[in-house]
Structure 1
Amino acid sequence: MNYRHSFHAGNSADVVKHSLLIALVRALQHKESALTLIDTHAGRGLYDLNGEEAQRTGECTQGVLRAFADPNPLLNDYRAVVEAENVGAELHLYPGSPRILAQLLRPQDFLILNEKHVQDVYALRGVMRGTSAAVHERDAYELWLAMLPPRTGRGVVVVDPPYEQPDERARINATLAAAHRKWAHGVTVIWYPLKDRATHWRWKEQLRKLGIPKFLCVEHWLYDSDQPGIYNGAGLYIVNPPYAFTQALPPLLEALRAALAPEGHKGEITTDWLGH
């Protein structure tokens, strides 16, 4: 499955992913000690919702625009980071994870971004100019391991690939296993699209067999039954989520489900511990 950020900016997957990422980082920031935030597949960092690629799919109408139309205050933190990238009431720009993480940085925190796609890394360097972020142009999985453990000891690795390569999941499995050996207490967030339950179930079982404790799986299924051959939702694997994050998760997930449910569907957001 090919999932380039620019075609899907601000869709329902972005709303869930970025809402949870904000909550996760803020929970880790309850402690004063420094964090290193690492984004292995950073993309362009900022997306034009009126641009050709975003307009071709129009997915933001079912994502960020729904989140902004929903009055639930639990979505306020998410809305605030998107509003911070825009001037005026109308949303023209959507921040990717790099710009969102940059907004969350405290003076003691560090942000490391990586993007291998030549055009995207050029754009990324432009939109991150003026921030403290370090931008790399390397193989994502090589960088993921090379940066561990971070100098700060505490941190988050965000893995958000386009799933263009047939071996993407196998590389994630192998790199996650190696990363956990190097940095057992580190927090890792892996995003993935959901197309059919059988394929995803097989991958989840492979990851379960890695034997990683404190391994949370959050899945957002848009429709009440699988829609064959199309995008059905997205999920996050989260290694070592902090207690403050998991305690606050149920009401946030319900707010996201309600805001993003397509017409005629309730939708579903589930959590599952792959290891304890």
Structure 2
Amino acid sequence: MNYRHSFHAGNSADVVKHSLLIALVRALQQKEGALTLIDTHAGCGLYDLGSDEAQRTGEAAWGVLRAFASTHPLLDDYRAAVKAVNASGGPRLYPGSPKILAQLLRPQDFLILNEKHPKDVYALRGVMRGASAAVHQRDAYELWLALLPPRTGRGVVIVDPPYEQPDERARITGTLAAAHRKWAHGVTVVWFPLKDRATHWRWKEQLRRLGIPKLLRVEHWLYDSEQPGIYNGAGLFIVNPPYAFTQALPPLLEALRQALAPEGHKGEIISDWLGA
């Protein structure tokens, strides 16, 4: 499954991912200690929703535009992050995770971005010029392990691959196991698309067998029943989410479900512990 960011910027998966990422980082920032934020698959950092790629799919209409049409106050932080990269009016530009994470930085925090694709890393360096961020061009899984544990001790690793390679899930599983051995108390966020429940169930079982004590799964299913062969939604696996985040999660997920449900569907956002 090809999930190049430029074709899907601002879709429902981005709305959920970025809303939860903002809430997660802010929960961690309730403590004064410095954080290192590491994005292993950073992409271009900023996307034009009027580009040929974005217009070809039109997915922003069912994502960020729906979030902006909602009046739910729990989506205010997400909308503010998008507005921050737009001079006026509605969302013409969409911030990827690097731009959103940069907005969240405190003076004591650090941001490390990685992107292997030559054109994307070139664009990323331009977008992040002037920001307090280090940009790398390395294999994402090698970098993930090489930077652990971070110098600050506390931090978040965000893993958001395009799932172009057939062994992507296997590489994530193996690297996550090794990362947990190196940094057992660290917070890791793994994004995934949902295409069919059988494939996803098998991967969940593989992750469950890793025995990671605090592994939260969040799944956003767009439709009330599985739609074979098409994109059905997306979700996150989150290792060691802070208590403040998990306590505030249910109402945020409900606000997202209401805002993003397709016409004629209620949609579903599931959140529970993978080992439960």
TM-score bin, normalised by smaller chain: over 0.9
**Which residues of structure 1 form unaligned runs of 5+?**
none
Offset at residue 65 of structure 1 (A) = 0.2
Cα deviation 1:245-273 (Å, max 9, x = unaligned): 00000000000000000000000000121
TM-score, structure 1 as length reference? 0.99
Q: Which residue of 1 aligns with 2:27?
A: 27
Matches within 5 A, 1:103-142: 103-142=103-142
Query: How far apart, CA to CA, are the structure 2 residues paired with 1:220 and 1:90?
Result: 25
Matched, 1:215 2:210: no
- The residue number in structure 1 matching 2:234 is 234
Residue in structure 2 matched with residue 75 of structure 1 by the alignment? 75
Amino acid across the alignment from 1:39:
D
Q: Residue 172 of structure 1 corresponds to which residue in structure 2?
A: 172
Once the two structures are superposed, the pairs formed by residues 57-76 of structure 1 within 5 Å of their partners are 57-76=57-76
- In the alignment, the residues of structure 2 paired with residue 48 and residue 191 of structure 1 have an alpha-carbon distance, to the nearest angstrom, of 22
Aligned-partner SS, 1:193: strand
Quick one: percent identity of the two aligned structures?
Answer: 85
SS in 2 for 1:225: coil
C-alpha distance in 2 between matches for 1:211 and 1:239: 11
Match of 2:161 in 1: 161
Deviation at 1:89, TM superposition (A): 1.1
Distance in structure 2 (CA, Å) of the matches to 1:55 and 1:21: 26
Q: Which residue of 1 aligns with 2:87?
A: 87
Write out the 4+ residue segments of structure 1 that deviate beyond 3 Å after TM superposition.
none
2:144 match: 144
- Counterpart secondary structure, 2:274: strand
TM superposition shift of 1:113: 0.2
Match of 1:205 in 2: 205
Write the deviation string for residues 84-120 of structure 1: whole angstroms up to 9, x where unpaired.
Answer: 0001112110000000000000000000000000000
The number of residues matched between the two structures is 276
User: In the aligned structure 2, how far is the partner of 1:221 from the partner of 1:181?
Assistant: 31
Q: CA deviation at 1:160?
A: 0.1
Give me the CA root mean square deviation: 0.6
Residue 259 of structure 1: aligned partner: 259
Q: Once the two structures are superposed, what CA deviation does each residue of 1:187-242 show, in whole Å capped at 9, x if it has no partner? A: 00000000011110000000000000110000000000011110000010000000
Q: Which amino acid aligns with 1:123?
A: A
Partner residue of 1:188?
Answer: 188
Distance 1:79 1:92 in 2: 13
SS state of the match for residue 275, structure 1? coil
Q: Give the secondary structure class of the aligned counterpart of 2:54.
A: helix
Name the residue aligned to 1:268: 268
With the length of structure 2 as denominator, give the TM-score of the two structures: 0.99
Alpha-carbon distance between aligned partners in 2 of 1:271 and 1:125, rounded to the nearest angstrom: 35
CA distance in 1, matches of 2:99, 2:90: 19
Q: Any idea what SS the aligned residue of 1:42 has?
A: coil
**Cα shift at 1:274:** 1.4
| Aligned-partner residue type, residue 188 of structure 2 | T
SS, match of residue 119 in structure 2? helix
Distance in 1 separating the partners of 2:56 and 2:130 = 31
Amino acid at match of 1:251: P
Unaligned runs of 5+ in 2: none
Measured against aligned partners, the alpha-carbon deviations of 1:134-177 in whole angstroms (never above 9, x if no partner) come to 00000000000000000000000000000000000000000000
Q: Distance in 2 between matches of 1:105 and 1:132?
A: 9
